[in-house]
Amino acid sequence: MSHKRNIYLQMKTLAEARRIVLETFSAGRLATERVATPEAVGRVLAEPVAARLSSPHFHAAAMDGIAVAAQKTYGAHPSHPRQLQIGSDAFFVNTGHVLPPGTDAVIMIEHVQQLDAQQVQIEASALPWQHVRKMGEDIVATQMLFARRHRITPYCVGALLAAGHFDVPVYCKPRVAIQPTGSELVDWRGSSSMDLQPGQVIESNAYVLGNLIDQAGGCPHRLDALHDDPARITAAVQSAIDEGADIVLILGGSSAGSEDYARVAIEQMGDILVHGITIMPGKPSIVGKVGRTPVFGIPGYPVSAILAFEQLVRPLIFRLLNQRLPQPEHAEVLPTRKIASKLGVEEFVRIKIGRVGERLVAITLPRGAGQITSITEADGIIRIAADVEGIAEGKPVQAELLRPLQAIGDTLMAVGSHDNTLDLLADELRAQSDHLNLSSSHVGSMGGLMAVKRGVCHVAGTHLLDEKSGTYNLAFIKRYLPDVGVRLVHLVMRDQGLIVPAGNPKNIRGIDDLARDDVVMVNRQGGSGTRILLDYRLRQTGLSPDRIAGYTNEEFTHMNVAAAVVSGAADVGLGIHAAATALGLDFIPVVTEQYDLVFPQTCFETPYIQELLAVIHSSSFKHRVDALGGYHTERTGTILL
């Protein structure tokens, strides 16, 4: 079989694609069923529901006391108490009891004086229906409880049962068949994560989308993954439709690769309505129609898959259930730096958000469609329209929130140099605080100082070596933040050195070896303390960066440097001991350096920062840092400035 590449013809805008989906696959096709009321939470009523019983269906005592006929109590006064005969004028009742015949009020037991076994005395008269729940007070039989298309909540269950409805008519959940495709996919249930071979990928999209379908009110049905075989994919989709699927999702195979067969399968059975949408991530999405059934080609990259589902499939599920699609909460945020964007493409930029002073500041996360953590770590999304070339630094924009605003307000924004101890600090903060979060963005030490200068972070990590004095950080603070009040707190001393593969197969011994013809390095980004340290050592040894293969290959974290080495993309990289240890790599020490935290003076005394400092001083945090290896915590928490 010849493998032809797909070509995106006449790509649609997101608005056009969604309109096509909703107009083509209109509501009203779902069957109905009856489900037990306690199990109906989240389901949508297919018919109006009227009460079969009143609630309460009798006059009930609302207090503990005596039930009386109100008119028999008139005239009672502290100066003229009235005696009532038990069994004829008064009847002892508890809350919820049926009122005895001939009574219409309850006097609280606290206001009743019992004279003997047969007689009580009261000092105030009762009003008709005092402390009584009258029949139908809450619900009257035959009244409308809920109109059709009402989504049942846990509160509704109580009303339905009280009104005599023990099962209710609801729309059947849209059945969504999920068909993963790709010869590279591995089922997590039948393999060990340690056995993965290069090129293999654990299939996870079906589980992510399955849970999103469940949240939207659908019924997911995950099918076993198929290799890139167009005949088998076509047969599986047809089988899912024949078995009653209301929607079919083909995961993977929607792009322009020579083995992307979602489009082929849909074309063989029906029609392609959309192939290619002007959004990033999610461009390769497909909308097809087989008979009356919508079939979607969902991109294989995780973030693309999620966005394609949320923008196309989720609205359809709500439409089929006759529900209005919930609108996300928005807030105005201030990006910490310029966000570039392509003209002609609507881009969904994932961001972290924190409240610094009176502003919500936003830090962009990695924008790759394959980086699922850019969604798991995101607080919101900035949507950049197709006719906009980007967002300028310092220009406020609207963001769709993925977390409640209160939770975002309890987030401390850390910007600057990456260090593994920040992850431990974030976890310890969550363990020791019931509300605070620490969110880190890795832009290098200089980037952190500039964020402090612009007032867009709570803390910045830095390890900048001053070549003249041989000291860390203070000289740079004086040089770049002369008019900004800051406090400097020591976090850790850490061993920095050359990270090499286990066993050090190329026998790398020091900085001089970076210039060897058989050695390729991976570097840190410009402005990072590690990059400044490397350049300093290169000048000391008289090496020019031009002589080093891979000098321009940049990563933004120590763990990414270690990952490049363990993958074979590089033979060596400068990084911290803990990163080498974490991935089972060898480490050649170069220097023990100082890693500190810079706090703007304006927020240093706030309860949030003081809570963070308490965690830094805690023995549990220091013990966990020491366990990483390559760290020294003797002065951790010391205020240096």
Q: What is the pLDDT of residues 556-577, one digit of tens each?
A: 899 999 999 999 999 999 999 9
Q: In the prediction, which pLDDT does 214 show?
A: 96
Band of residue 9 on the pLDDT scale cut at 50, 70, 90: low
Band of residue 258 on the pLDDT scale cut at 50, 70, 90: very low
Instruction: Give yes or no: residues 280 and 335 share one domain.
Output: no
Instruction: Give yes or no: residues 491 and 624 share one domain.
Output: yes
Judge whether 284 lies within some domain: yes
Judge whether 428 lies within some domain: yes
pLDDT above 90 coverage of the chain, percent: 78
Instruction: Give yes or no: residues 528 and 548 share one domain.
Output: yes
Per-residue pLDDT reduced to its tens digit, 591-640: 999 999 999 999 999 999 999 999 999 999 999 999 999 999 999 999 99
- The total domain count for the chain is 5
Token readout for 160 is 């339905």
Instruction: Give yes or no: residues 268 and 345 share one domain.
Output: no
Q: What is the CATH number of the domain that holds 50?
A: 3.90.105.10
Q: In the prediction, which pLDDT does 556 show?
A: 87
Band of residue 255 on the pLDDT scale cut at 50, 70, 90: low
Query: Among residues 498, 513, 500, 484, which one has the least CA distance to residue 590?
Result: 498
pLDDT above 70 coverage of the chain, percent: 97
N residues, the chain? 641
Residue 279 and residue 310 in contact, taking contact as beta carbons nearer than 8 Å? no
Per-residue pLDDT reduced to its tens digit, 319-372: 999 999 999 999 999 988 888 888 899 999 999 998 998 899 998 888 888 788
Helix (H/G/I), strand (E/B), else coil: 168: strand
Alpha-carbon distance of 131 to 61, in angstroms, equals: 7
Position 73 pLDDT exceeds 90: yes
Query: Among residues 561, 565, 555, which one has the least CA distance to residue 506?
Result: 565
Alpha-carbon distance of 528 to 576, in angstroms, equals: 13
User: Which whole-number Å values give the CA distances from 299 to 178, 209, 373, 377, 629, in the listed order?
Assistant: 13, 12, 17, 21, 41
Region 180-208 average pLDDT: 84
Long-range contacts of 98-102 (CB under 8 A, 24+ apart): 98/58, 98/59, 98/60, 98/61, 99/58, 99/59, 99/60, 99/61, 99/67, 99/132, 100/67, 102/69
Judge whether 6 lies within some domain: no
What average pLDDT is seen over the chain?
Answer: 92
Judge whether 447 lies within some domain: no
Task: State which of 283, 301, 320 marks the end of a domain.
Answer: 320
Q: What is the CATH number of the domain that holds 593?
A: 3.40.190.290
Q: In the prediction, which pLDDT does 342 show?
A: 87
Instruction: Give yes or no: residues 153 and 259 share one domain.
Output: no
Q: In the prediction, which pLDDT does 395 show?
A: 87
- Strands (E) in 181-226, as ranges, are 185-186, 201-202, 219-222
Instruction: Give yes or no: residues 226 and 351 share one domain.
Output: no
Query: Do β-strands 554-555 and 521-524 pair in parallel, antiparallel, or remain unpaired?
Result: parallel
Q: Could you tell me the pTM of the whole model?
A: 0.83
Position 8 pLDDT exceeds 60: no
Q: In the prediction, which pLDDT does 193 show?
A: 61
Judge whether 573 lies within some domain: yes
Query: Is the dihedral angle over the CA atoms 394, 396, 398, 403 positive or is it negative?
Result: positive
Three-class SS string for 125-140?
CCCCCCCEECCCCCEC
Position 510 pLDDT exceeds 50: yes
Position 221 pLDDT exceeds 70: yes
Judge whether 464 lies within some domain: no
User: Which whole-number Å values give the CA distances from 217 to 40, 211, 313, in the listed order?
Assistant: 11, 10, 12
Band of residue 2 on the pLDDT scale cut at 50, 70, 90: very low
Higher pLDDT, 183 or 208: 208
Instruction: Give yes or no: residues 102 and 203 share one domain.
Output: no
Per-residue pLDDT reduced to its tens digit, 416-425: 998 999 999 9
Region 451-478 average pLDDT: 93
Task: State which of 264, 292, 320 marks the end of a domain.
Answer: 320
Q: What is the CATH number of the domain that holds 120?
A: 2.170.190.11
Per-residue pLDDT reduced to its tens digit, 124-162: 999 999 999 999 888 899 999 999 999 999 999 999 999
Position 1 pLDDT exceeds 60: no
Region 464-474 average pLDDT: 91
Task: State which of 268, 299, 320 marks the end of a domain.
Answer: 320
Residues 6+ apart with CB under 8 A from 313: 176, 213, 247, 249, 296, 298
Q: In the prediction, which pLDDT does 330 show?
A: 95
Instruction: Give yes or no: residues 527 and 608 share one domain.
Output: yes
Position 435 pLDDT exceeds 90: no
Helix (H/G/I), strand (E/B), else coil: 254: coil
Q: In the prediction, which pLDDT does 27 show?
A: 60
Instruction: Give yes or no: residues 126 and 160 share one domain.
Output: no
Region 545-552 average pLDDT: 95
Per-residue pLDDT reduced to its tens digit, 23-38: 999 765 789 999 999 9
b vs e for 71-105, b when ≥16 Cβ sit within 10 Å of the residue's Cβ? ebbeebeeeeebebebeebbbbbeeebebbeebbb
Judge whether 382 lies within some domain: yes
Position 257 pLDDT exceeds 80: no
Alpha-carbon distance of 399 to 440, in angstroms, equals: 19
Q: In the prediction, which pLDDT does 336 show?
A: 82
Higher pLDDT, 410 or 616: 616
Instruction: Give yes or no: residues 312 and 346 share one domain.
Output: no
Q: What is the CATH number of the domain that holds 422?
A: 2.40.340.10
Instruction: Give yes or no: residues 178 and 316 share one domain.
Output: yes
Judge whether 121 lies within some domain: yes
Q: In the prediction, which pLDDT does 374 show?
A: 84
Alpha-carbon distance of 633 to 100, in angstroms, equals: 76
Region 212-237 average pLDDT: 94
- Strands (E) in 342-443, as ranges, are 346-356, 359-364, 380-384, 390-391, 397-401, 411-416, 437-442
Query: Among residues 336, 334, 288, 287, which one has the least CA distance to residue 311?
Result: 287
Region 164-174 average pLDDT: 96
Instruction: Give yes or no: residues 20 and 46 share one domain.
Output: no
Residue 602: phi, psi to the nearest 5? -65, -25
Higher pLDDT, 374 or 622: 622
Higher pLDDT, 310 or 467: 310
Higher pLDDT, 628 or 199: 628
Residue range of the domain that includes 504: 487-632
